[in-house]
Structure 1
């Protein structure tokens, strides 16, 4: 996913990440960047992003809260298939590389899947 014009303009939202150790981190994320890139740029433990955000590895698995689940673009077929392959097709689990931050995410909580 590419950064939107809003991200380039510097619009940001506050998101709470719970890392793989269970520690909470309140970060600022640019509208338009992916949840994976926001996490990796803030060194959130447990977010790998080994494939560079190409929906190919599953190392950016996260559990999203109702705010994100309701407002994010639904998972496409490639994301659904990878989550199923990884044994993680249940509701609320997504790949961070496939979700672009929107203004509606302000105040949302994202949990690194390994932290559960």
Structure 2
């Protein structure tokens, strides 16, 4: 089982958890893992090392089970998926965050 150190309510955490559900991978979020005000979260701890950043984690998890096809079956399909992921990140996620995040309650407690 892999561990995801991230705040469970953060939308970035959901990217990895949704990908994990699709490929049938069990990922645990340790309690209070996202509470630290320092460090880079989210971080996925794997048996071979750690991966950070929500997009990189979601792509890694998506590639784990090729038969599921979440990341495509070949290079061109993977490239097309990357195109849409980048589009969504830069053209949708960033603008939406500038509108939504200022009116949302804070997720992290800063000390």
Same fold (TM over 0.5): no
Structure (1/2) with the larger strand percentage: 1
Which structure has the greater CA radius of gyration?
2
Structure (1/2) with the larger helix percentage: 2
Short-chain TM bin = under 0.3
